[in-house]
Structures are given as C-alpha cells and as structure tokens.
Amino acid sequence: MEKDAKIYVAGHRGLAGSAIVRNLEKNGYTNIVARTHEELELMDAEAVRLFFETEKPEYVFLAAARVGGILANNTYPADFFRENIIVQTNVLHQAHLSGVKKLLFLGSSCIYPKLAPQPIKEEYLMTGPLEETNSGYALAKIAGIEMCQAYRRQFGSNFIAVMPTNLYGPYDNFSPERGHVLPALLRRFHEAKNSGISSVTVWGTGAPKREFLHSEDLGNASVFLMETYNDPSIINVGAGTDVSIKELAEQVKDTVGYSGDIMWDTSKPDGTPRKLLDVSKLHALGWHHSIELPEGLRSTYEWYVKNVAEK
C-alpha cells in the first residue's frame, strides 16, 4: 500500500477496526476513511453503493461485524447470521464494482469444526460439524470467505481472508450478556470487587481451553498481511498458545485484585472443548505476536477502568 493511498476501515470503532486504524496511523498511512454506523448503514445496499462511488477507496479492511459471546450467539442466531451476511455482501460487491486494489476480510476462528484437531490448521475448514452455540455467526463468516474466493476466481479481485483467534483489548464489548468471555470476566470481577460480593459465578466447568490475542497484535498483523499477503487461501492469526477458562478466570481475578471466590455453573454450556490456531503459516511469513496475556490483561483492565467502568 502507498502511504497516501485512500484506505477504508469498515468497523473503525470496534475492537479490531480501531486497532487497525491505530496501526495504520503508526505506520505513516495518512488517508484513512471511516464512517460511523450513524453515517453509513452497511446493511443498506444503496448507501454502501453511494459511499464507494463517492469515496473510491483503494484498499478496504472489512472489520465491521455483529459479534458476541456464547449467550448472545445462542440467543440471537438469526440476527448474527443475517446481519453479517448482508454487511459482507454489500461491502464485498461494491468493493469489486469500484475496483479496489485489495480488500482484507476479517473472519473468525469459530469457522472451524467444533472438534477439529489441535492446533487448527487452515485446511481443517469445513471438515466437520460446527459448535452449535455460534453456528449462525460461523456460517456467515464462512460465506464471507467463499465470497472473497468467488470474486477472486470470477473477476480477479485481490480479496484476502484472515482468521483471527479470540481477541481482547481497548474498545471491546464488556457486557456480561453480549461480550466475549475475557472482557465479560474483567467487568464482573471489577464490579464484584467494588460491591464487596463474596463470589463470582462463571459459566461451565472451566475446562475448555482458549487462545487470546490482543487487538493491537491483530491490528499489526492485518496491516502486515495487507502489505504482503496475496494468497486466495485463508490464513490464521493468533498467539499460538492457549489457557483454560479456569486459568483465565484466576488471571483476571488477580489482575482486578478481587479477593472473593470463583464458582462454576456446570449447568451452562462450555462451548468448543479447545480452540487453538496453528499459526505456522503466518510465522513463516515473518510475523509473530508481541503482547503476552498477563501484560495484555493489565493494559485492557486499565483501559476499562478509565473509559467504561462506572466511577
């Protein structure tokens, strides 16, 4: 990408999109285009058409998506499926019609089978049943991957698809009902500490293992791949290590400084037993993550206290 190229980041206020914008600015890109949800409704095909015809971005990062944790995905599967399909369709099609030089589509590690061998290689996609609690969202992301590859085959569009692992960091959704496990735990332990509550109950057994990548690393990897990667096949982005949900809860508890007990509600679903991405393909290109989980937890909690927590 040229430093003065016009770059559109869809979803620039979100966890991933905001990190991409910060990394672009850090690396000297000066012509970044962004629109809030109020300024541009990506589910409105006509509005998206007018935006691309007017702005004519040369590069596009598609980070806009409806996302959430187990509870949100399990409760609103139709919304997750429909909204993501529509947004992807509108942006990808108009990017093609307007002749963008390159587009990066952010997928998700939930595209892989529930019981995929570990660590998960890119070629394991569509080799087994999905995790039931978020299959709607996963299928929408799989459709996005297929769409990128279809436009590449039919029209020669340089659309690449990147599959990040579980993300966390500034501008995350810290809602206990709608957020992913890490930000939701940070908020719950913080509020329990401030309220003097003697215990915090966490869903499931604590046994499942998850991989976590700080959003700043994802932003760095996304810009790196936009600059260097042109392969039609998907590529994983992760840290290459994982922790159990029980270990995560203990680390969050220590980070927050909560002194109460952790209780486990085993009547609630665990989700996928383990989800660790094989990132050897990305490592072979020369990229590695730089923020380890303890450091990332501390900085994310500090951001939450400063920007989100009730004073």
Catalytic machinery residues: 137
CA distance 131 to 232: 25
Strand bridging mode 274-275 / 209-210: parallel
* Crossing angle of the two packed helices 45-55 and 77-97, in degrees rounded to 10: 30
9 CB-contact burial (10 Å; exposed 0-12 / middle 13-18 / buried 19+): buried
Sign of dihedral through CA atoms 287, 290, 293, 298?
Answer: negative
Residue 118 phi, psi dihedral angles, 5° rounding:
-110, 145
User: Two tokens at 18?
Assistant: 């905001």
